[in-house]
A and B are shown apart, each in its own frame.
Chain A
Amino acid sequence: MTPSVLAGLVGAALVGLGLYGLISNPHPLRKLLAFNLVGSGVFLVFGIVARRGAAAGFAFDPVPQAMVITGIVVAFAASALAVALILRLAAASGKVTLDPRAWTKPGEGGQ
């Protein structure tokens, strides 16, 4: 098994585990961690893509690396935004749940 195939399999496993966590865990913080796991898997796949670098004719294609860095920045910003929302939610209501039934009484609502 070559290193690229191994890295690819690890990437796929990370994406799979993360996706499972994202769907099955009810708590937003766990969902966020799961999202970061998926992100790591995707960035790993990007890394292998860089190694192929076939089309551009380079020995090692630098473009995917630039994309990974951008992707990491975006994922970091997204995580920060999500954590800020979770903290505000906890501060405002004392509970952190995404279940809409916890927030609206039937036939009621703001605005």
Chain B
Amino acid sequence: MTAPGGELLVFAVLTPVLGILLSFARGGRAAEAITLALAPVGLVLAGFVAWLVAWSGAPLVYEIGGLAPPLGIALRADGASATMMVVTALIVPAAAFYAREKFATPQGGESRSALTFWIMLQAIWAALNLVFLGSDLFNLYVALELLTFAAVPLVCIDGRPETLAAALRYLLFALFGSISYLLGVALLYGGYGTLDIVLLGQKIEGTPLVWTAAALMTAGLLAKTALFPLHIWLPPAHANAPAAASAVLSGLVVKGSFFLALRLWFYVLPGLPIAAPAALLGALGGCAALFGSILALRQARLKLLVAYSTVAQIGYLFLMFPLAAAPAGGALGWSGGFMQVLAHAFAKAAMFLSAGVLAEALGHDRIAQFGGAARALPLTFLTLGLGGLSLMGLPPSGGFEAKWFLLRACAASGQWIWAVPILGGGLLAGGYVFRILAPALGDGEVKVKASPRRSQELVALGLVVIALALAFAPENFFEFIRIGRPLAGGGAS
């Protein structure tokens, strides 16, 4: 049954699509204006969906064409997807606002890079909303592909050979991921005749077919999420993209495929004994957290350092699997993992935007030559420092809240081993944040080529303030993100 207000879900997906069509038709400066005009509309839609979900305490469902699954396809907003929609509606407009200078349309004409940027940004928004709302595994495959096709051009938007190579590598990894996911979908359809997440979740059994399908789909999603050891495409792609694009790619796009992995394991398969595969995912996550942080410590360029830090932070996300699947403390693990998704999205977007400001102002982003830069760009280094606070997991920040929940989940379920990457990764994060800040706060004189734009610095600061404010999320918020999560199999308490 389509609930009252379910039409909002369709509007949430279609509004950016409408923006893309209008941008194409009008061309020129219109693309930029339309993207910026979408910002309040998207935020109101996402906020309204979240309010409806919170008010009714149940997922908001829209059945397309009035056909119920398994015949039709449903869009479904639960607490987790509504939260992610709001996050998207905050970060995408922030990146758009930040990018107005770099991708301004020349007077009286249009440039290819500007038009591509604005259209792809809206496409990412539409695809992400579909990923968060989709309730049919094949529909989600299409959403995931749209997300990739929108993200790849953003990587190589300036057309330098190294960015083209990075984009190509990203695309090939993503293609492997999607075809592997699709094979899993085919097997599940063959077994159950439906791909609706809710229906599958009720029918699913621990047969070899289901485990094979789950393994194929998970492997595909890991390649797209860049979990260690499939992370090698991420640093060059994210570090070479323009700053505004990097913020969206690192903050949001990798979360899209991660969200699908959550959907698969906690919504489709919650009735099965998933402790062993969840432990494997957790082990990969733990390796990513340590390995990514160590590589981040060794980078000479700021944007590469921030990109490797994304590899590490993605690792923490996957600790959610063993901790949230445990019979005891599962709810703590879920809250902590989700808080990590949010904290990393805001903190990382802010840090990439700051890295962009820095690169524009200094003309380079080599950390060794940052001596004294904090005096020239105090606001930007404040943002980098506060973002680093959240990455390290020091209070008060969303990152601290996330790690605190995860550690409590470790204690409650007796899985002490996961505390090692949580604490060790935080220590290493402290190391690489120190590496950025220490030379900048030290002596020296930097040549500022162009004075930084205050508006861009403030956008980044605004995002990092949200990352810190997450530390004060009330208890109701954690109840909200559990709305619509199946409880079978003792996954949640």
Contact = CB atoms under 8 A, between A and B. Distances in A.
A101 to B, nearest CB: 11
B183 A109 contact: no
B193 A86 contact: no
B436 to A, nearest CB: 16
11 contacts: A35-B172, A54-B193, A55-B194, A56-B193, A64-B186, A71-B141, A71-B182, A85-B156, A89-B165, A89-B168, A109-B365
Contacts of A103: 161-162, 165
A9 interface: no
Interface in B142-180: 142, 145, 148-149, 152, 156, 159-162, 164-169, 171-172, 175-176, 178-179
Contacts of A109: 239, 301, 304, 365
Contacts of B175: 35, 78, 82
B17 to A, nearest CB: 16
B145, B169, B179, B301: most-surrounded residue (chain A CB, <10 A): B179
B100 interface: no
Contacts of A45: 183, 186-187, 190
Contacts of A48: 190
Nearest to A103: B162
Given A35-B179, A74-B142, A85-B152, 18 more contacts: A42-B186, A45-B187, A56-B193, A81-B152, A82-B172, A82-B175, A85-B156, A85-B168, A86-B168, A92-B159, A93-B164, A100-B166, A103-B162, A104-B162, A109-B239, A110-B240, A111-B239, A111-B243
A104 B165 CA distance: 11
**Interface SS, A side:** helix
Interface of B: 70, 138, 141-142, 145, 148-149, 152, 156, 159-162, 164-169, 171-172, 175-176, 178-179, 182-183, 185-187, 189-190, 192-194, 236, 239-240, 243, 300-301, 303-304, 356, 359, 365-366
A63 B190 CA distance: 11
B179 A92 contact: no
Nearest to A94: B161
Contacts of A35: 172, 175-176, 179
Interface of A: 15, 22, 28, 31-32, 35, 38-39, 42, 45-46, 48-49, 52-56, 61, 63-64, 67, 70-71, 74-75, 77-78, 81-82, 85-86, 88-89, 92-93, 97-98, 100, 102-104, 106-107, 109-111
B165 A98 contact: yes
B164 A88 contact: yes
Contacts of B162: 100, 103-104, 110
A81 B152 CA distance: 9
A70 B240 CA distance: 32
Contact of A55 (B156, B164, B193): B193
B285 to A, nearest CB: 23
Contacts of B70: 55-56
Contact of A31 (B148, B172, B356, B365): B172
Contacts of B179: 35, 38-39, 42, 75
Contacts of B190: 45, 48-49, 52
Given A15-B183, A28-B168, A85-B171, A74 B145 contact: yes
Contacts of B160: 92, 110
B102 to A, nearest CB: 11
B164 A49 contact: no
B172 A32 contact: yes
A110 B356 CA distance: 12
Contact of A49 (B142, B172, B186): B186
B415 to A, nearest CB: 33
A81 B159 contact: no
B2 to A, nearest CB: 21
Contacts of A88: 156, 159, 164
Closest 7 CB pairs of A and B: A55-B193, A103-B162, A93-B161, A49-B190, A89-B164, A85-B168, A92-B161
Nearest to B246: A111
